[in-house]
Amino acid sequence: MKIDVVSIFPGYFDALELSLLGKARERGIIDLQVHDLRESAHDKHRTVDDTPTGGGAGMVMKPEPWGVALDGILSAAPADADPLVIFPSPAGDVFTQSMARELATESHLVFGCGRYEGIDQRVFDEYAARGRVRLVSIGDYVLNGGEVATIAMIEAIGRLVPGVVGNPESLVEESHEEDGLLEYPSFTKPATWRDRAVPQVLLSGNHAAISTWRDEQRIERTRRVRPELLPPEHRGESRGRHAAE
Ligand code: 6GU
């Protein structure tokens, strides 16, 4: 998978050289290129922002540097590549595990990281008219720019690209995968730590009992923390209580 990122803070993306994704980059599974938007600003001061037309607080990113940067990336892409341009934005569709799975099948993603109050609307319109564009939010809170959101998305998408995670089974048995329930709690050795014992069933060697316990834990945890994720067959009365209570 080819990933291009445009940002005025390319240094943010050094974090992606660490661990798993760094290895995938070394092995050529993920080809990540980060572009400094300022290099596409051709005035003396390499200006990337200006005051909002019509008035208002803050600054808006000018369209010209974005045009130069994105034209450069898109014209270098193979004719049959059909890249998807993603603008991280709190006004976008919410990023989920299912969106990550969908995006992991793309061959070329381009992330345009806005700062300030946003990017001039004509940039979205221009690239939506020429190809595929999506605005994507990582949740209902406000960040100062798209960089941290892009890092989160690249990590979630990148680990789903075949060959990036060594043991593909570890991708299935986790929160938000398979059946949408949260993960069960995990333990390792020692069997007792600071007077806290590992649940007995996990030491029993009874794999059926362990599997049942883990399923119960996943349902209880989901009911407690994220009841809206519970599938219909697990809604209704909680364990150990009557519905009328
Ligand atoms: Cl994608 N960008 C910004 N600036 N803030 C956000 C976001 C994105 N997702 C949630 N908050």
pLDDT at residue number 238: 56
- Tell whether ligand 1 has an atom less than 6 A from the beta carbon of residue 229: no
Q: Would you say residue 31 has pLDDT above 60? A: yes
Kindly state if the Cβ of 72 falls inside 6 Å of ligand 1.
Answer: no
How far apart (Å, rounded) are the C-alpha atoms in residues 245 and 241?
Answer: 7
- Residue 61 CB less than 6 A away from ligand 1: no
Kindly give the number of the ligand 1 atom that is closest to the alpha carbon of 114. 4
Q: How far apart are CA 89 and CA 123, in angstroms?
A: 13
pLDDT, tens digit (0-9, with 9 covering 90-100), for 161-191: 999 987 878 787 777 777 899 999 999 999 9
Calculate the CA 153 to chain-centre distance.
2
**Number of the ligand 1 atom closest to the C-alpha atom of 141:** 11
Ligand 1 pocket, 118 CB below 6 A? no
What is residue 33's three-state secondary structure? strand
Cα 225 to ligand 1 centroid, rounded to whole Å: 23
pLDDT of residue 9: 97
State the average pLDDT for the chain: 93
Over residues 77-88, the mean pLDDT reads 94
Q: How far is the CA of 90 from the centre of ligand 1 (A)?
A: 4
pLDDT tens track for 185-210: 999 999 999 999 999 999 999 999 99
Distance CA 181, CA 128 (A): 35
pLDDT band at 112 (very low <50, low <70, confident <90, very high): very high
Is any atom of ligand 1 closer than 6 Å to the C-beta of 88? yes
C-alpha dist (Å) from residue 174 to 68, 129, 164, 171: 41, 38, 16, 6
Q: What is the pLDDT of residue 244?
A: 42
Q: What is the mean pLDDT of residues 80-92?
A: 96
140's CB contacts (< 8 A; 6+ apart) are 90, 94
CB of 145 sitting under 6 A from ligand 1: yes
Q: What is the pLDDT of residue 239?
A: 54
Chain position carrying tokens 């006004």: 91
Q: Does the CB atom of residue 152 touch ligand 1 within 6 A?
A: no
Atom of ligand 1 nearest to the CA of 149: 1
* Tens-digit pLDDT profile for residues 34-55: 999 999 999 999 999 999 999 9
Q: What DSSP string describes 60-110?
A: EE-HHHHHHHHHHHHHHS-TT---EEEEEEEEEEEP-HHHHHHHTT-SEEE
Q: Which of 134, 140, 143, 144 to mutate to test the pocket of ligand 1 (most atoms within 8 A of CB)?
A: 143
